[in-house]
Structure 1
Amino acid sequence: MTGSSAPLRRLGMELRRLRTMTGRTQADVGKAIGRTHATLVNWEHGKTKISKSDLLCLMTELGVPNDVRAGLEQLRDESGPGAGQWAVYGLPDSLKPLISFEADAVAVTAFEPIIIPGLLQTEDYARAIHIAGPHTVAPENVEKWVAARIQRQRQLTGAAPLKFHAVISEAALRLQVGGSSVMTTQIEHLLESSRLDNITIQILPAAAGAHPALAGNITVLHFADPRSDPPLGYFDGPLGGYMISDEAQVTAMADMFDDICVKAATEAESTRMLATALRDIRK
């Protein structure tokens, strides 16, 4: 799934509903307006943004009432703002959907087994992570990708901040990313972030043993209206990531996260673990 925003996804759902009400196929409607079957599929799944002229043609072909058209046009317009700001960072295509949907989310839950989650990374920590992966991050892109990561973190502050619940493996606190100085600042940042009302940080102790996400990370994005915008999952690795929209799979990811939360230390215990890790690094 490579959609660009929640409004675009809602628009696609409405276009699909309106088409099915007519009993026509995507191929039939596409041919009528001079577009391919694949193009209709992408529009209806929120994968690509429909142009104003194409939307007008499509609504006319489907006989969409005038009172409905304004709402569809508004959804299309809402899917555009903010997208261009990320173009200057030269980000990989696999990351763009996450960033866009993240901007529309009201809450995000994430588990990381070995590193600090991106939304909580300091600039120096993020830089060290990117430099360590020259096969996936070209040297000339490191600073741009770091800047993009810091830009994303602005969603955690402001008038209506994103709610972020992160479970971090204890191993991530012990991995010397960038050296002791970088790790000192990073853990101090985690302690400061944990004091914010919209951020919850739990540490998964090594003593917790096996857990549901031993094989990788978990990210689930939640939206204001789960009926029209159901949660989405995201999974990534060294070679990129991908959005997960299948309801059963996203539910499984959310359940796995809940199970990990049970195994993880409480917020108060996690704060003490962070303080202990900080003292150990300073020694």
Structure 2
Amino acid sequence: MSTARRRQLGSWLTKLRNQAGCSVEDSAERLGCSTSKIRHLEAGRSKIKKVELTKLLDLYEASDEVRAQLDETRKQAEERGWWSSYRLPEWFEPYVEFESTAVEVANFELDLIPGLLQTEEYAREIHRAGRYDTDPRDIDRRVKARMTRQNRLSSDPPLQLRAVVSEAAFHRQVGGPDVMKEQITHIIEQCQRPNVILQLLPYEAGAHASPSGTFVILSFPDQEESIGFLDTPLGGHTVDDEDEVSALRYLFDELRSVALSAPASLDRLRRLVQAD
């Protein structure tokens, strides 16, 4: 079952309950269950049956449009996503699920090129280096999954990508000079898309707002709450606390403010390619 879909459905149920002025106790009474079950449903930790969803939406006096949308989300939560056959790390699958329905990605990277902009050879080298959490037999699957994720950039409607990337990522010789030249050229080409904006955080910017790590903020349609994602050497985890996601958005805005403009960033990348 899709963890991301369950969490989206749970978020909607929480919002509808609050809008209806109902308490967790009211919802539990309607279903004839414990309050802990309602909390699990709203946190996306438990599966909800169609009859349970109907009873809650009756209590919240949801519109027909909302009912149809949430029942469709419930059905989708039962389906296996395209990524399930790629043997992705367990901690990463929820992120890919969220990304598949997002409308915008805001991504800050310190030492690596954002996954949505990586070439196949660059991605392969990254996975080869990550032997700790990538079985060598899974490298091809992981690379193919990354390439498939990139289809969102050319879908209709396309995913909006806003990236701030440290200059160090473009000087790190992942796979050697030829791989990096191809990678930077690919980024320049991708940035011709109106939905892709990359800003380079230059060395001369000095100390900045996020020296200790990379992060992503995913935004969704219909004013759903945004989700954050933090990457670590041993994996990553989603952030759905509203205050924490707001803090990440503030950090991203701070980083954008000290990064080069998009045109200036592309000029610097072109000079890097020409220098080679």
State whether TM-score is above 0.5: yes
Write out aligned runs for 1:220-239 (5 A): 220-226=217-223, 229-239=224-234
Q: Which residue is equivalent to 1:249?
A: 244
**Residues 264 and 135 of structure 1: is their aligned pair in 2 closer, same or farther, counting only changes over 3 Å?**
same
**Residues 67 and 271 of structure 1: is their aligned pair in 2 closer, same or farther, counting only changes over 3 Å?**
closer
Write out aligned runs for 1:171-182 (5 A): 171-182=168-179
Q: Given the alignment of the two structures, is residue 4 of structure 1 paired with residue 4 of structure 2, yes or no?
A: yes
- What displacement does 1:45 show? 1.8
Q: Given the alignment of the two structures, is residue 264 of structure 1 paired with residue 259 of structure 2, yes or no?
A: yes
Distance in structure 2 (CA, Å) of the matches to 1:62 and 1:24 = 15
- What displacement does 1:262 show? 1.3
Output one character per residue of 1:131-181: Cα deviation in whole Å (capped at 9) or x when no partner. Answer: 101111111211111111111111111321011011111100010111112
Distance in structure 2 (CA, Å) of the matches to 1:21 and 1:147 = 46
SS in 1 for 2:90: coil
**Residues 197 and 22 of structure 1: is their aligned pair in 2 closer, same or farther, counting only changes over 3 Å?**
closer
TM-score of the aligned structures, taking structure 1 as reference length: 0.85
Output one character per residue of 1:25-57: Cα deviation in whole Å (capped at 9) or x when no partner. Answer: 677677x35xx76543231123444233xxx04
Distance in structure 1 (CA, Å) of the matches to 2:196 and 2:25 = 47
Ranges in structure 1 where 5+ consecutive residues have no aligned partner: none
Q: Given the alignment of the two structures, is residue 191 of structure 1 paired with residue 188 of structure 2, yes or no?
A: yes
How big is the alpha-carbon RMSD for the aligned residues of Structure 1 and Structure 2?
A: 2.8
Q: Which residue is equivalent to 2:44?
A: 46
Identify which range, 8-17 or 39-48, moves more after superposition: 8-17
- What displacement does 1:223 show? 2.1
**Residues 67 and 110 of structure 1: is their aligned pair in 2 closer, same or farther, counting only changes over 3 Å?**
closer
Distance in structure 2 (CA, Å) of the matches to 1:66 and 1:21 = 11
- What displacement does 1:104 show? 2.0
Identity %: 34
Kept in 1, the 8 Å contact 2:113–2:169? The answer is yes
Kept in 1, the 8 Å contact 2:185–2:273? The answer is yes
Distance in structure 1 (CA, Å) of the matches to 2:172 and 2:102 = 30
Distance in structure 2 (CA, Å) of the matches to 1:224 and 1:58 = 21
